[in-house]
Amino acid sequence: MKLCDMTIHELAALLRAGEVTSTEITESVFDRIDQVEESVGAYVTTARDQAFEQAAAADKRLLQARKRGSLSDISPLMGIPLALKDNICTRGIRTTCASKMLADFVPPYDATVARRLGDLGAVIVGKTNMDEFAMGSSTENSAFHVTRNPWDFERVPGGSSGGSAAAVAAGEAIGALGTDTGGSVRQPASFCGLVGLKPTYARVSRYGVVAFSSSLDQVGPITRDVWDCAIMLRAIAGRDERDATSSPEPVPDYCGSLKETDRDFTIGVPSEFMHSGLDSGIRELIDNAVRALEDAGARIVEVSLPHSDYAIAVYYLIATAEASSNLARMDGIRYGFRAEDAHGVQAVIRQSRSEGFGPEVKRRIMLGTHALSSKHYDEYYLKALKARTLILGDVKEVLEKCDCIISPTSPTVAFRIGEKLDDPVALYLMDVYTTIANLSGMPAVSVPCGTLKGLPVGAQLIGRAFDEGTLFRIAHLLEQACGESVKRPPLEAMKGGRDR
C-alpha cells in the first residue's frame, strides 16, 4: 500500500517511529495528484510549494520531539497532508467558493479551523472543488469544472463537498474538511465510500468559513475511517472567541472513547425513512447494517419522526432565505466580481451579480428573497421556523430513549454526471435523510455499510447534541461489522487521464 492510501492514524504511528517522513508522505500525495487529478478534478487550487515547506517544518518538529522524548505532545495530525474545501479561508491561498464571484479572492487571514490544523503541524495540500457557494448535491455546479467520483468517473462524487470526498477517496489527500449545511459532508462521504461527520451545531467554529446558511452550516471531517474522523474533530472543535455561536462545551478525547468496549446501545430506526423512494438495494444494506449492530450487542427499536416529511421544504426555505441575506454582500462594490462595462451603482450591482453567480446560486437567492419579502414572510419563512421547532422536538424525544438514530445517508448511490442537472427538485431530494440533523443541530455521521452494483453506500447515524463520543463508538462498531470492504475505490479505475 502506498503512503497516500493509508489512514491518518497509520501514518501518525510511522511518523512517530521515524519510519517515514512527512516529506515522503507529501511526495506520495502529490505523485497521486499528478497521476489522477486530470481525471478526478478534486482541486480548485493546489499549494505544492507551501505544502512541502510545511512538511519540512513538521519533520523538524518530529525529529526534535523524538530527541527530547516528548512525542506524546505531538498531534497525530503533525505532518499529515490534508485538503480544505474552497469555502474555508486560507491566508495567501485563494478561496473561491467555486464561483466566478470570488475567482481571484485571496484571504488575508485563516479560518479558525485552518489555523488550528496549521498550529498542529498539518500539511495543507490545497483547496477542493465544490458546488458554488456550497449550493448543490453533486459538485457539478462549480464555475471551474465538474469533479468525478473515483469509483466511477462517469458519476458524481456528491456535493457540495464533493472535491474533498473525491480527494480522500483517490489518495489525493489523507483527510479533508468539508462543510455541511444539509448533508454536504455526509452525502459525498456516502457516495465515495468514506466516513463523513457533521458535528453538533456550535461544536466547531465557523469563523472564516464563507457563509451559506448561518443557522445550519457546520465544518466537518471526511476521512477513511472513524478513528481518523475522531482525530480531526478533536483538532478543530472547541470555543472560538471570534465566533459568538461557538460553544464553550468541553471537547473530550474522542479517540479515547473509541477504546471503550461497552456495546449497550439503543438504536432507533425511524419508520418514516424506509419509504418507497428509497432504492431497494440500499434498503437491504441498511437492514443488514441494523442486524449487524444488533448482533454486536445493540438494542434496536422502531421510532417515529412524525414531522420529518416537512424537512426538505423547511430546509430549502430557511437555507435559501439565509443565503439570500449572506450573499447580499457580494455586490461588485464592496466585495466580489465587478462587471467591467457597467455604469452607475445600481447597474454595477445588477450586472456583477448576474454575471458573477451561477444559475443554481441565483435560483436559491431568488427563492430566499421571495420567502423573506414582506408579503410572504409569515406565509413561508416564519412557518418554516415553526416547523423546524417541531422537527427538533421529534428528534429530541427519540434521542431521550435512544443513543442514536440510523437511516440511509442518501436514497441512491452516486448518480451519473448530468443525470439530474435539469431537475433541481430531484437534486434537492438527495438531502431527504440528511437535512434533519442540520435543522435539529444534532451531530450525524455517514459510515460505509456496503456496496450496490460496485458503488459505495453509507448508513447515517444521528446522535445527541455534543455527544459525538457515543456517535463515534457506534459508528466504529458499524464500521467493524460491515464497512471494511468499501474503503478504497479500485485503483485500476484511476489509471489514465480523461478530459474533464
What is the CATH classification number for the domain harbouring 131? 3.90.1300.10
Query: Band of the pLDDT at 498, cuts 50, 70, 90?
Result: very low
Q: Which of 357, 385, 413 is the last residue of a domain?
A: 385
Residues 315 and 348 in one domain: yes
Is pLDDT of 484 > 90? no
Q: Span 63-87, mean pLDDT?
A: 96
In tens, the pLDDT along 29-48 reads 999 999 999 999 999 999 99
Residue 126 domain flag: yes
Q: Out of 202-206, 240-244, 482-486, which region has the weakest mean confidence (pLDDT)?
A: 482-486
Residues forming the active site: 85, 160, 184
Residue 461 domain flag: yes
Is pLDDT of 433 > 90? yes
Residues 69 and 210 in one domain: yes
Residues 369 and 432 in one domain: no
Half-sphere exposure of 28 (CA within 13 A, CB side): 21
Residue 37 domain flag: yes
Q: Span 74-102, mean pLDDT?
A: 98
Residues 236 and 143 in one domain: yes
Query: Band of the pLDDT at 276, cuts 50, 70, 90?
Result: low
Residue 288 domain flag: no
Domain count, the chain: 2
Residue 284 domain flag: no
Q: Which of 385, 410, 427 is the last residue of a domain?
A: 385
Residues 93 and 140 in one domain: yes
Residues 110 and 193 in one domain: yes
% of the chain surpassing 70 pLDDT: 97
Residues 326 and 410 in one domain: no
Query: Band of the pLDDT at 262, cuts 50, 70, 90?
Result: confident
Query: Band of the pLDDT at 497, cuts 50, 70, 90?
Result: very low
Tell me the C-alpha to C-alpha distance, in Å, between residue 20 and each of 32, 175, 256: 17, 18, 25
Structural domain harbouring 348: 308-385
Residue 70 domain flag: yes
CA distance 404 to 338: 48
CA 157 from centroid of its chain's CA atoms: 12
Residues 326 and 181 in one domain: no
CA distance 68 to 86: 38
In tens, the pLDDT along 320-332 reads 999 999 999 999 9
| Cell numbers at 144, concatenated | 471551474
Please give the mean pLDDT across all residues of the chain.
95
According to the model, what pLDDT value does residue 275 have? 73
Residues 229 and 374 in one domain: no
Residue 74 domain flag: yes
In tens, the pLDDT along 444-481 reads 999 999 999 999 999 999 999 999 999 999 999 999 99
According to the model, what pLDDT value does residue 482 have? 84
Q: Span 359-363, mean pLDDT?
A: 97
Q: Mapping DSSP to helix (H, G, I), strand (E, B) and coil, where does residue 303 land?
A: strand
Contacts of 409 (CB under 8 A, 6+ apart): 183, 186, 187, 189, 190, 433, 434, 446, 457, 458, 459, 460
Residues 66 and 100 in one domain: yes
CA distance 197 to 64: 34
Residues 324 and 255 in one domain: no
187: nearest Cα among 117, 282, 267, 102: 282
